[in-house]
A and B are shown apart, each in its own frame.
Chain A
Amino acid sequence: MVTIDDLKDYASRLMFDMDSEGYERTLKEFETVEKHMALIGEIDGIEEIEPMTFPYEIYHASLRSDEAMDCLSVEDVLANSKEVENNQVKVPKVVDR
């Protein structure tokens, strides 16, 4: 079963943290969801159903023709970034993963 430490690990992999009550509440929600999902898992023959991503089969999607079009200006690309240098977004030094 999932523990508070697991939740903290999930949160940190999602790049955030919260206070301990938050994790307690999350744990309760997990239990509810697991309980409900367990019932779904018991539905007869569910494992044979193809999981559904799209609301219906989409036949009409067309691919884009390969034409380069005008896109954002450099100013627009950088408009919302808080730190910019040499027309690039500036961040603390990134070390190799």
Chain B
Amino acid sequence: MKTIMELRADLDNKKVTSEELFKEANKKAHEYQDEYNSFVTIIDEYKKNESDSLINGIPYSLKDNISTKGILTTSSSNILKDYIPVYDATVYKKLKNAGAVLVGKTVLDELAMGGTGTTANTGIVKNPWDKTRQIGGSSAGSAASVALGITPFSIASDTGDSIRKPAAFGGVVGFKPTYGRISRYGLFAFASSLDHVGCLTRCVEDCAIVTDILKGKDERDMTSLPDDGVKYHDMLKNDIKGKKLFYIKEITDKELYKDASEETKKVLDKFKETIDKCKELGFIVEEVSIDEKLLKAIYPSYMTISCAEATSNNSNLTGIIFGPRGEGNTINDIMFDARTKGFSELIKRRFILGSYILLKENQERLFKNAQRLRRIIVNKMNDLFKEYDAMILPTSGGVAPKFDSDIDRMSDRYLILENHMAIGNFGGYPSITIPNGFVDDMPIGINITGPQFMDGEVLNIAYKIEEHLGFKGLGKE
């Protein structure tokens, strides 16, 4: 499977037409659907606008929590199983205007609230590298669609690590830019203060290309950033010699994981090898220590903030104006019935937790303390970013988990290693996952996170590391 730039060349040289690319993607999407379940909806009709953008004529997929006028958008939940939006998300509009061709809407963990790819109302998404394993979530179908070579890129959302984790498990690249860089208008809100739109691709260059097209101020999103007036694509090859990276000792030190699995140890070894390679490239890489207590608090705070915001954001799902109508004789009964039938138990548990967190008597102790912890972490990171250009860390302590594995992200063993990427959402930092080779024949990733607004710089660093590691265009097809 080719990258955007390779397909661009083929299209420009008339080796292939856009329609042929679409048909091939459509065919693969159907072929793989039963096996991997990447899509909620596969588009069978070729439709595109004319444009001279780099993605003109390139097929792509879109996470099914992004509003597409006239195309079913379910957020992989029964509560929206028949919802056909009447408006386009800003990103979808931009992609259409840029001439990109939509192949399908991808499966996600229900309402984007999950990290396994196993909680969609239409079934589990399987990992293209090993069907007995998860691809991770919540952007499960998007990661699979790129890893399977169905589309060279997919547009998705990231609230905790929903793009960057499945990218690692699928051996592809996943990037979320600075909070506000890409408009959220039309992204079904999970936790508004943490939600980002981003992309999954086969290489860093493609992330830059897509982000260049999607970024910019949107009058529909008050938190969207004014255009920074640069093309990230032009910055990829900038010299990185002397740039400073750091990694966190408490996350990466093998000594701290004495009873860890062999797999985890291999992942950490791999990470250290990559650090050495970064130094070869001319990066200055240093180890930094952060109070473990703070790191351990990231995930609980993330859960607290995101569940609280989610319970409010999803209060519009009552089946009155849209979504399946509940049964009953009173207005309360029909709302109650629609929501009881519409949400899975996991979602309900999170909503209950979220509403409990927001109760007057609990806000100070739970919600506000979590928000305070968020500030402590962000202040700490901002201080570090005064000295360093980016942070580099393993994306996970292991390869994609088996479906039958029982990983408790709250357990001590996984608390930090599996959840640190939420730092990127706390501070709205540009953050990218790129492949870092294989452990036990499964892909693993590294994550590079930089200071707010420095999207081009982060992509530049990632591009250089990707180039040196040689895992560009990884994929299973």
Contact = CB atoms under 8 A, between A and B. Distances in A.
B300 A46 contact: no
Contacts of A94: 331
B410 interface: yes
Contacts of B217: 60
Interface string A49-75: 111111110101110100000001000
Nearest to A56: B452
A64 to B, nearest CB: 7
A14 B87 CA distance: 27
A29 to B, nearest CB: 6
A5 to B, nearest CB: 13
B219 interface: yes
Contact of A54 (B223, B293, B376): B223
Nearest to B349: A26
B93 interface: no
Interface in B319-373: 319-325, 328-336, 339-340, 343, 345, 348-349, 351-353, 355-356, 365-373
Contacts, number: 168
Nearest to A34: B366
Given A33-B300, A49-B375, A22 B320 contact: no
**Residue among A37, A53, A91 with max Cβ neighbours from chain B (10 Å):** A37
Nearest to B301: A40
Contacts of A83: 325
A16 B336 contact: yes
A58 B180 contact: yes
Interface residues of A, number: 53
Nearest to B368: A51
B28 to A, nearest CB: 31
A32 B410 contact: yes
A55 B426 contact: yes
B242 interface: no
Contact of A49 (B82, B330, B345, B372): B372
Given A26-B353, A51-B372, A53-B371, A79 B219 contact: no
Given A13-B355, A33-B303, A89 B332 contact: no
Interface of B: 82-84, 86-87, 179-180, 193-194, 217, 219, 222-223, 225-226, 293-294, 296-297, 299-301, 303-304, 311, 318-325, 328-336, 339-340, 343, 345, 348-349, 351-353, 355-356, 365-376, 378, 410, 425-429, 452
Interface of A: 2, 7, 10-19, 22, 25-26, 29-30, 32-33, 36-37, 39-41, 43, 46-47, 49-56, 58, 60-62, 64, 72, 76-77, 79-83, 89, 91-94
